[in-house]
């Protein structure tokens, strides 16, 4: 790789629309990405398309042009819908384009809970004003609003909006059960939801609305990505987790999480060093140097056993981190008690 080839960008986008022939769209999309030497992941379904792709600036610009001229997305997808950050093809190991049931895996049939029943979209400016108001009311202990992070715990751990409720869930497919288990919490509340690029809120807000307990459901249009473009020093503190080899992108200097082992401020993820585990771990350079590179003691021990046994096969298994975490947490806080400070 010449250095020049590394300077490109990563695009994140989605489009909900009716796709009559997902297989055909999938083949076209694959050919397009290969032609432009883009890597990344694209999910196609009868409900639309969701992609995150990386390549040279020339390639990503062409990609946007072609996507906007594709008849399927005409008048639905627009330039604004593409979120970009610096990166390139090297941010992904390969290109994966496939047909799925949902373009974001919530685990609920799109026919049952549709993106058409979504919450009210707020622009970054509107959302910013709402959060500002929420924080000032919450400090006086009189808020009727919940600021809800729809992402997974390892995402919100390294960056989130001040005063948010961040569910301790490992996958978005646990989100519906989380809502079910905590319905009381949302009763008669105004809910402000947000996620990385907006897509999880589209179905998540529809699911929450289908329960008919909230007063209103709002969501951040374009997600944290678009918010940070306008308010790099706003109410979102810390890094933004991304699902590629970068793990996080930075907009302010705040570090809000700590090393798992020594507690020093640290927010750069590494994969657990144990071959059978896919967990992410926060371990600072000095703990890494001491050989503390796994997500938990069980993994650390297994790793030593496996290395001494040197068996070729690797099995994916759950370690104690995952087993000890209740799959769907029940909140015992009144939202009033949420930490609204920095």
Catalytic site positions: 195
Q: Which residues lie closer than 8 Å to 66 by C-beta, 6 or more apart?
A: 32
The residues with which 12 forms a beta bridge, in sequence order, are: 52, 83
Q: Are 123 and 194 in contact (CB under 8 A)?
A: no
Q: Which residues lie closer than 8 Å to 56 by C-beta, 6 or more apart?
A: 5, 7, 8, 37, 88, 89
Residues 174, 196: Cα–Cα separation, whole Å: 17
Q: Are 44 and 30 in contact (CB under 8 A)?
A: no
Count how many residues are written for the chain: 342
Six-digit token string for 250: 């930075």
Q: Are 160 and 238 in contact (CB under 8 A)?
A: yes
Neighbours of 179 (CB within 10 A): 20
Across the beta sheet with 8-16, what order do the strands follow?
83-87, 8-16, 48-56, 39-45, 95-99
Residues 223-240, buried b or exposed e (16+ Cβ, 10 A)?
Answer: bbbbbbeebeebbbbbbb
The residues with which 159 forms a beta bridge, in sequence order, are: 238
Q: Are 242 and 220 in contact (CB under 8 A)?
A: no
């Amino acid at each position: 790789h010449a250095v020049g080839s590394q300077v490109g960008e990563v695009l994140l986008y989605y489009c909900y629309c009716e796709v009559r022939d997902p297989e055909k769209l999938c083949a076209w999309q694959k050919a397009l990405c290969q032609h432009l030497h883009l890597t990344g992941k694209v999910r196609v379904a009868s409900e639309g398309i969701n992609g995150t792709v990386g390549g040279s600036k020339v390639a990503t610009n062409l990609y946007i042009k072609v996507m906007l001229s594709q008849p399927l997305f005409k008048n639905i997808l627009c330039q604004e819908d593409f979120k970009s950050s610096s990166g390139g093809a090297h941010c992904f190991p390969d290109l994966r384009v496939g047909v799925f049931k949902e373009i974001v895996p919530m685990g609920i049939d799109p026919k049952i809970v549709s993106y058409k029943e979504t919450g009210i979209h707020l622009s970054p400016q509107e959302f910013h004003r709402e959060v500002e108001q929420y924080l000032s009311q919450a400090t006086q202990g009189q808020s009727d609003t919940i600021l809800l992070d729809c992402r997974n715990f390892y995402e919100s751990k390294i960056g989130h909006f001040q005063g948010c409720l961040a569910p301790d869930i490992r996958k978005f497919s646990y989100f519906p059960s989380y809502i079910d288990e905590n319905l009381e919490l949302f009763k008669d509340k105004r809910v402000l939801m947000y996620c990385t690029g907006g897509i999880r809120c589209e179905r998540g807000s529809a699911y929450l609305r289908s329960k008919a307990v909230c007063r209103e459901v709002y969501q951040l249009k374009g997600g944290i990505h678009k918010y940070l473009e306008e308010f790099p020093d706003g109410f979102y503190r810390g890094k933004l987790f991304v699902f590629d080899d970068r793990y996080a992108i930075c907009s302010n200097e705040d570090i809000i999480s700590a090393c798992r082992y020594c507690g020093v401020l640290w927010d750069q993820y590494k994969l657990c060093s144990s071959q059978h585990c896919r967990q992410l771990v926060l371990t600072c350079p000095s703990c890494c140097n001491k050989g503390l590179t796994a997500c938990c003691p069980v993994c650390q021990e297994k790793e030593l056993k496996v290395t001494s046994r040197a068996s070729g096969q690797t099995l994916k298994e759950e370690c104690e981190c995952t087993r000890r975490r209740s799959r769907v947490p029940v909140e015992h806080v009144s939202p009033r008690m949420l930490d609204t400070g920095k």
